[in-house]
Amino acid sequence: MNYFHDHPAPYECLGKNDNEPKSKRIKKSKYLGNEDVTAKEIATTCLQFLRAAPEEFRTLWNWSLFLDLFGNHEDKYVCW
Would you list the DSSP string of the chain? -THHHHS--GGGGPPP-TTS-TTS-EE--TTTTT-EE-HHHHHHHHHHHHHH-HHHHHHHS-HHHHHHHHTT-SSTTT--
On whether residue 52 sits in a domain, the answer given is yes
Residue 4 scores a pLDDT above 90: no
Q: What is the pLDDT of residue 62?
A: 87
On whether residue 13 sits in a domain, the answer given is yes
On whether residue 21 sits in a domain, the answer given is yes
Distance from C-alpha of 32 to C-alpha of 51, rounded to nearest angstrom: 22
Per-residue model confidence as pLDDT tens digits over 50-69: 999 999 999 999 899 888 88
Q: How many domains does the chain have?
A: 1
On whether residue 66 sits in a domain, the answer given is yes
Distance from C-alpha of 4 to C-alpha of 79, rounded to nearest angstrom: 24
Q: What is the pLDDT of residue 25?
A: 47
Q: Which domain holds residue 40?
A: 3-70
Per-residue model confidence as pLDDT tens digits over 20-58: 454 444 444 455 454 678 888 999 999 999 999 999 999
